[in-house]
Each structure stands twice: as C-alpha cells, then as structure tokens.
C-alpha cells in the first residue's frame, strides 16, 4: 500500500522520513513497517517519529481548527527531513494547510492506500 514511499526510497541513496501521527500506536506501527521494508530491500532509510500530542483529543471534542493547527505547527517545526508521512485518515483536515507551509513533500499513508486500491480495482476491470 505504500508503494509511492518505497519507490522514493529506492530512487534516493539516503532518505529521511518523518512519520507523524496523532496516535502513538499509528506512528510506531507505520515506522516499523517502513523500517522492515527498508531492511528487506537494502534501502538506506532513516525513520524519525513525531507524535502530535493532544491533537486526536481535540478532534474527538469537535475542535477541528485546533487539531489542524497543532498538526500544521508540527509540520512547520519539522522541516529537516526528506519526507513527512501522515499516518491517519483523521489528519486529512490538516493535510492541505500542512502542504502550504511545508517545503518538504507530505504523503498521507491512508490517502496513498486508497489511491492504490482504486488503481488496482480499475486495473482489474
């Protein structure tokens, strides 16, 4: 499902990826998945993790603007990387604003997964 990220890792000699999420478990699990892939494929990938504390709770309480502001601020402060990867669908509301303030490409793992599934479904028809 993360073919785009993996392709980028193979194209670059060294790739630093910041895995960002609002749930620590999603940050840890996606970081692990990317790291395992890198080991198997002998890709030089350095994983950095960033947990956006309180953002998920704000979203649960209907404070979408504050949720998004925390994520966008985290993106602004974490530009020393080659790629930022959002781990959750719940971060979608902050995706556009984050891309606007970032000089670093931002991938959304859930969006990539949906696009990959759509492409496979269309291809199989």
Q: Bridge-partner residues for 48, per DSSP? A: 18
* Per-residue tokens: 108: 């959304």
Q: Please name the residues in contact with 14: beta carbons below 8 A apart, sequence gap of 6 or more.
A: 44, 45, 46
State how far the Cα of 70 lies from the Cα of 30, in Å rounded to an integer. 21
Would you tell me which CATH number, out of the four given (3.40.50.1110, 3.40.50.1860, 2.40.50.100, 3.65.10.10), belongs to the domain 3-124?
Answer: 3.40.50.1860
The pLDDT assigned to 22 comes to 97
* Per-residue tokens: 81: 């990387």
Please give the average pLDDT of every successive group of 10 residues along the chain, which has 125 residues: 70 89 95 90 92 96 98 98 93 95 89 63 67
The pLDDT assigned to 114 comes to 62
The pLDDT assigned to 75 comes to 98
CB atoms within 10 A of CB 84: 23
The pLDDT assigned to 2 comes to 63
* Per-residue tokens: 91: 């971060």
């Amino acid at each position: 499902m993360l073919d785009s990220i993996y392709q980028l890792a193979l194209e670059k000699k060294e790739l630093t990826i910041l895995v960002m999420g609002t749930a620590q478990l999603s940050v840890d699990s996606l970081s692990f998945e990317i790291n395992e892939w890198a080991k198997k494929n002998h890709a030089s990938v350095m994983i950095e993790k960033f947990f956006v504390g309180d953002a998920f709770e704000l979203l649960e309480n209907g404070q979408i603007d504050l949720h998004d502001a925390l994520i966008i601020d985290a993106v602004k402060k974490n530009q020393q990387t080659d790629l930022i990867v959002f781990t959750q669908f719940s971060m979608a509301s902050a995706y556009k604003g984050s891309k606007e303030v970032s000089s670093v490409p931002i991938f959304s793992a859930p969006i990539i997964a949906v696009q990959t599934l759509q492409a496979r479904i269309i291809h199989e028809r």
